[in-house]
Amino acid sequence: MKNSLTSATTALLAALLCMSAQASDMESELVARGRYISLLGNCQACHTTAGEKPYAGGVKLQSPFGTLVGSNITPDPETGLGQWAFDDFKRAMSEGKGRNGLLYPAMPYPYYHRVTDEDNTALWAYLKSIEPVRHPVQSNLLPFPYNQRYLMLGWNLLNFSSKPFEADPGRSPEWNRGAYIVEGLGHCGGCHTPKNLIGGDETSRALSGYVVDSWYATDITANGYTGIGDWSVADITEYLRTGRNRFDTASGPMAEVVNDSSQHWTEADAKAVAVYLKESASSTAKAPRPLGDEDPRLARGADVYAFFCTGCHGATGRGVARLFPPLADTALVRGESPASLLRIVLGGSRQGVDTALGAPGMPAFARHLDDRQIADVLTFLRNHWGNAATPVSTEAVRTMRQQLKAGAK
Ligand code: HEC
Ligand code: HEC
Ligand code: HEC
């Protein structure tokens, strides 16, 4: 009797243990899923300061209206989200409401509101599992009147609808997964969609290109001229997972997006995004007429190119795939704004992606070329080898030179 009781107790204990092990397996599976969702959403870009504890906040973000700082979202009870319940978290993601009232859209709730409850639950489980860090952060460093959070009531009225994501039944599951990532967690429009005067998305021109922080986030619609229309699904997938492909290398903010976020996505998710971009509405930009051959800037620019650039980008501008990006017949070069081209030629650029360690860099030419030479070589590139785009003025070079404090020749 005693024996059988013991064995019954042991069995019960074993069952209980097994259940709690299962529960903790489920818990850790949920946390792991949440971690992956944080990578799709790139939360750390704005909430983790380089070299500091994860998610303790303090990242300064410049907007045309002033500075905002990513908050502490660790589970610290006083300076982080330790006292929040899931519903509070969901309100921040879906409605843009934080502990101090309405959030500014520097927190990408205009995209994140499309995140499903299921994904928010996993993300919340993950955030609760990270180390709590005591680190007070003042998010709102905007000048008056922009520092008045109630202004966001009006902003939301004009620019925000909390409508959840709706799959399009006429499209494949893969396309819908891509839509969910691009329009939601990936918040690609945050940089790639043109903004109205108060910083809201011009949704009718979604993803057709916008200048952020003096970088041009290119047209990533299926436009065959200014966009990624000529890229195959495999090309886009490769770019998202490695930061380069036969057309381009990611520089500046996009190198950070690849590094912090898209290189960690599953191949299936990167491919879904590619399929969505390829098979959605294209922007309406068309090739303008290239400058006439008699334009003196072209001959002068060709000379600068031959002397300073052929060594790496090649005499016909074709580059060397994945090492020296092509400049001929390239969307980045003929994009509406030459901002990234100016930044890269003046300041140089090193392929900032982990997967390209040891890859060659682009030298800074600020001290080797004057404003006119840079304007000429870029005007030449934008109007040669299949490219046609507005010329680049010496004023534009001068302004960017000052902005980057790049020094003079
Ligand atoms: C592009 C930058 C950016 C990204 C990406 C970003 N955030 Fe934020 N987030 C901010 C800023 C800035 C604030 C503070 C806004 C304010 O105070 O109005 C904020 C605020 C928050 C808050 C409210 C905190 C509080 O104290 O009220 C939460 C919660 C939050 N973010 C979670 C996330 C999560 C989860 C992700 C990833 C899915 C994420 N954020 C991605 C910039 C960002
Ligand atoms: C923080 C701003 C930012 C975000 C967010 C962002 N991008 Fe970009 N993206 C850029 C910039 C800037 C460039 C131009 C990079 C360069 O000059 O090499 C770029 C370039 C690209 C290109 C290459 C286009 C070409 O013709 O060379 C693709 C593809 C792309 N982005 C896709 C995406 C997708 C998909 C997302 C969302 C998951 C995204 N980007 C989110 C800033 C951003
Ligand atoms: C020593 C080799 C080298 C020389 C010389 C060089 N480049 Fe580059 N260039 C690169 C590399 C490498 C990259 C990719 C770096 C990156 O985007 O991070 C690049 C990128 C670029 C880009 C951005 C293209 C893209 O797809 O991201 C432009 C525009 C450019 N170079 C123009 C020029 C011009 C104009 C000259 C001459 C004045 C020049 N380069 C000289 C190596 C070179």
What's the pLDDT tens digit per position in 344-356? 999 998 766 766 6
Q: Which is it for the CA torsion 183, 185, 190, 191, positive or negative?
A: negative
Q: Does 61 contact ligand 1 (Cβ within 6 A)?
A: yes
pLDDT confidence band for 6 (50 / 70 / 90) = low
Q: What average pLDDT does range 198-222 have in this prediction?
A: 95
Ligand 1 pocket, 291 CB below 6 A? no
Question: Can you tell me the distance from the alpha carbon of 218 to that of 215, in angstroms, rounded to the nearest whole number?
Answer: 9
Band (4; pLDDT cuts 50, 70, 90): low
| pLDDT, tens only, 147-157 | 999 999 999 99
Question: Mean pLDDT, the chain, as a whole number?
Answer: 93
What confidence score (pLDDT) does residue 12 get? Answer: 63
Instruction: Using the atom order of ligand 3, give the atom closest to the CA of residue 330.
Output: 26
Q: How far is the CA of 392 from the centre of ligand 2 (A)?
A: 22
Using an 8 Å Cβ cutoff, are 164 and 113 in contact?
yes
For residue 304, give the ligand nearest its CA. Answer: 3
Half-sphere CA count of 44, side-chain side, radius 13 A: 23
Lowest mean pLDDT among 40-44, 64-68, 90-94: 64-68
Q: How far apart are CA 346 and CA 364, in angstroms?
A: 5
Q: Which tokens go with 78?
A: 């006083």
Reported pTM: 0.94
Q: Is the CB of 237 under 6 A from ligand 3?
A: no
248 lines ligand 2 (CB under 6 A): yes
Average pLDDT over residues 225-229: 96
Residue 16's pLDDT is: 62
* Order of all β-strands in the sheet with 60-63: 60-63, 66-69, 140-141
The owner of tokens 């330790």 is 82
Q: Is the pLDDT of residue 193 over 60?
A: yes
Provide the pLDDT for residue 409: 87
Residue with CA closest to ligand 2 atom 13? 217
| pLDDT for 1 | 45
Ligand 2 centroid to residue 254 C-alpha, Å: 5
**Does residue 342 carry a pLDDT above 50?**
yes
What is the predicted pLDDT for the residue at 24? 77
CB of 398 closer than 8 Å to CB of 368: no
Q: Sorting pLDDT into bands at 50, 70 and 90, what band is 339?
A: very high
In this structure, the residue with its CA closest to atom 10 of ligand 3 is: 362
Q: CB–CB of 182/276 below 8 Å?
A: yes
pLDDT at 357 over 60: yes
Q: According to the model, what pLDDT value does residue 2 have?
A: 47
**Cα separations (Å) of 4 from 1, 7, 8, 185?**
5, 5, 6, 55
Q: What pLDDT does residue 321 have? A: 83
